[in-house]
Amino acid sequence: MYTINNYCFQDFKCESNLHKSNYAVLANSAGKGIKYAPYADFSGEYNILKELDHRQIPKVYDIGQGKLYRDEKFLIKQNFIVLQHIGGYDLVKYFREKNVESSETIDEVVKVFVTLCNPLSYLHAMNYLHCDIKPGHLIYNQETGLGHIIDFELAIKQGETLRGISREYASPEQLQILAYLRSRKEDSDKNSLPPAMQLDGRTDLYSIGLLLYEIVTKTVWQKGADLPRKTNKCIPQKLEEIIMRLLEESVSNRISSAEKLEKMLLDI
């Protein structure tokens, strides 16, 4: 048994390719999980989640620092955050095991992404951006049919500077901002960006497009890649158009909002 302060758990998951932090379901607090790491700062995630109230976004309960024990043996000090545990499947892994060259599976993909539009719209209406939508951060609950958005470590309020990126699933404007931040002199204002470089909800929509493309083609999008229907002829023309609109390099040409995306998906 592992413990941090009064929180107990049987084991922990550590997938460094997806998460910066360890995560465990709590054994002594039903419906809750604990995320922890020795150096991670969870205060940004905690403060944002405190402001949010949506059934497809995890609630937050506690934050702090404590000693990690295995049985009674001290291991290391950890920073931690206690969250609502969201049960279900990693959305990308779930569809990786299914035959996406079938209309039934494509219909299921569309339905799940329709459900994700509501929490994404809510998040953006609250003036927050997730900034890290990627495999492992979208969870599908097959019983309810709902998709959930988790892991807000890199989330920001609109107008704030990036906390970091996951390069493979970042939008072009996130990469542009990262290059800009790295090029600035040390004495420049680290908390300011030119107005033209500030992010909005369309950066999350680009990442949604990357995951949609990856799910229905079982290949990772890269510039110059084949159109979705060339890889999977079962994809409806309207869905291909939606995916390619989400993957527009120019923000102004991208689908403008999660509400608009929902309407377009429902029209397939």
Q: What is the pLDDT of residues 109-132, one digit of tens each?
A: 999 999 999 999 999 999 999 999
Q: Where are the domains positioned within the chain? A: 2-84, 89-266
Return the pLDDT at 224. 85
The CATH number of domain 89-266 is 1.20.1250.20: no
Lowest mean pLDDT among 27-41, 102-116, 229-243: 27-41
Portion of the chain with pLDDT greater than 90, in percent: 78
Inform me whether the pLDDT recorded for 176 exceeds 80: yes
Q: Which CATH class is domain 2-84?
A: alpha beta
Q: Where are the beta strands (DSSP E) in 142-195?
A: 146-149, 156-157
Residue 59, both tokens: 């609630």
* Residue 189 scores a pLDDT above 60: no
Q: What would the pLDDT profile of 12-29 be if each residue is shown by its tens digit?
A: 655 443 446 889 999 999
SS3 129: strand
Which 3 state secondary structure label does DSSP give 171?
coil
- Position of tokens 């994700």? 116
Average pLDDT over residues 244-266: 97
Q: Which helix (H) or strand (E) holds 133?
A: none
Cα 172 to the center of its chain, rounded Å: 17
Helix (H, G, I), strand (E, B) or coil at 74: strand
Q: What is the mean pLDDT of the chain?
A: 92
Q: Do the two domains 2-84 and 89-266 of this chain adopt the same fold? A: no
pLDDT per position as a tens digit, 195-219? 667 899 999 999 999 999 999 999 9
Q: Would you say residue 53 has pLDDT above 80?
A: yes
Q: Where are the alpha helices (DSSP H) in 126-227?
A: 172-183, 202-217
d(CA 24, CA 264): 37
